[in-house]
């Protein structure tokens, strides 16, 4: 695929490099100069293909800066390439996919217009928080899952009679999919929120199944880690053995990694959609299949 360019955004350098190797494409790197007022200037090194470009840039914090850079890279690629695919492994703003309260702006609708406006012909995301968000896009859109990649990692670990656990009912389908691929049982915890105090309590009937077993807590993303911490503390009281966390996107804001470990988690395993200490699982193969 020498007539294809992979343009690496600053937020996804390692993933872009792996993807370009996998599809045998020409890798174009970007350098960024940030001015004292916060503006950034992007310079690309290398010759962009006239046929097809793939821009790889995750939109994690600083979200707005990474978004502007993604749009700028796509716009530049479109000046030269006839087709531009936007690979946005972590798509920030995906939680703002509908108007929950009157007057709220549906930011995903704005993003859909921006990506189309700068010239993207297709957008690929990995484990987007809400697939509804992609319905706002009029260009082709595809959401791929990192669950098989994460499962592959966990199969290599020597776990004791493992159970897959979803920290809440909202992630039940994800945990079920993970357990099916992994070949184990799964449970989804039930949370009850006190309307007066706002305190969340876990009330789950079949939690005694976890006694003496290793657990894999599965989530799509971890931001501050609140639900993972609550779930871990609850599960530890049920006398489970080790607790592992598997997630696609590890944002780990406000010292979340330390807090999660302090709650009793043995290891956090995430993918390289967001680079960091926990990103041990590579999703470049899964993305490459979505591009073809």
User: Domain spans of the chain?
Assistant: 4-145+283-291, 147-272
pLDDT for residue 25: 97
CA distance 270 to 250: 6
Backbone dihedral region for residue 219 (phi beyond 0: left; psi -120 to 50: alpha; all else: beta): beta
> Domain 147-272 classified CATH 2.30.30.100?
no
Q: Which pLDDT score is estimated for 198? A: 67
pLDDT value for 117:
98
How far apart are alpha carbons 48 and 29 in whole angstroms?
11
CA separation for the pair 168, 15 (Å, rounded): 30
Q: Is 157 helix (H, G, I), strand (E, B) or coil?
A: coil
**Given this model, what pLDDT does residue 202 score?**
79
Contact 105, 83 (CB under 8 A): no
From the number of C-beta atoms within 10 Å of its C-beta (0-12, 13-18, 19+), residue 239 rates as exposed
Q: 195: how many CB neighbours lie within 10 A of its CB?
A: 7
Backbone angles phi, psi at 203, to 5 degrees: -125, 105
pLDDT, tens digit only, all 292 positions of the chain: 469 999 999 999 999 999 999 999 999 999 999 999 999 999 999 999 999 999 999 999 999 999 999 999 999 999 999 999 999 999 999 999 999 999 999 999 999 999 999 999 999 999 999 899 999 999 999 999 999 999 999 999 999 999 999 999 999 999 999 999 999 999 999 877 666 766 667 766 666 789 999 999 999 999 999 999 999 999 999 999 999 999 999 999 999 999 999 999 999 999 999 999 999 999 999 999 999 7
Residues 6+ apart with CB under 8 A from 124: 85, 86, 87, 88, 141, 142, 143, 144, 287, 290, 291
Nearest to 25 by CA among 284, 262, 249, 272: 284
Give me the CATH code for the 4-145+283-291 domain, please. Answer: 3.40.50.2020
Q: If you count them, how many residues does the chain have?
A: 292
Kindly list the catalytic residues. Answer: 191
- ∠ CA 135-82-43, rounded to 5°: 95
Do the first three CATH levels of 4-145+283-291 and 147-272 match, i.e. the same topology? yes
Q: Can you give the pLDDT at residue 206?
A: 63
């Amino acid at each position: 695929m020498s007539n294809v360019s992979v343009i690496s955004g600053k937020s996804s350098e390692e993933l872009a490099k792996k993807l370009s190797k996998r599809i045998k494409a020409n890798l174009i790197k970007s350098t960024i100069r940030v001015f004292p007022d916060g503006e950034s200037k992007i310079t690309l090194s290398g010759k962009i293909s006239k046929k097809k470009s793939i821009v790889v840039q995750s939109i994690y914090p600083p979200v707005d800066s990474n978004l502007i850079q993604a749009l700028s890279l796509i716009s530049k690629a479109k000046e030269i390439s006839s087709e531009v695919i936007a690979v946005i492994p972590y798509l920030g703003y995906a939680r703002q996919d509908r108007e929950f309260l009157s007057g709220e702006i549906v930011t995903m609708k704005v993003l859909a217009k921006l990506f189309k406006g700068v010239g993207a012909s297709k957008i690929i995301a990995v484990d987007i928080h809400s697939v509804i968000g992609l319905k706002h896009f009029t260009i082709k859109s595809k959401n791929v899952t990192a669950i098989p990649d994460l499962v592959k990692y966990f199969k290599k670990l020597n776990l004791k009679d493992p159970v897959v656990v979803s920290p809440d009912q909202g992630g039940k389908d994800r945990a079920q999919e993970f357990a099916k691929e992994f070949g184990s049982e799964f449970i989804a915890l039930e949370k009850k929120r006190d309307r007066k105090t706002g305190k969340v309590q876990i009330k789950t009937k079949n939690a005694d199944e976890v006694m003496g077993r290793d657990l894999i807590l599965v989530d799509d993303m971890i931001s501050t880690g609140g639900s993972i911490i609550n779930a871990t503390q609850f599960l530890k009281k049920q006398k489970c053995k080790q607790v592992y966390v598997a997630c696609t996107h590890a944002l780990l804001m406000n010292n979340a990694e330390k807090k999660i470990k302090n709650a009793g988690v043995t290891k956090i395993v995430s993918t390289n959609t967001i680079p960091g200490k926990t990103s041990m699982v590579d999703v470049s193969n899964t993305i490459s299949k979505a591009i073809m």
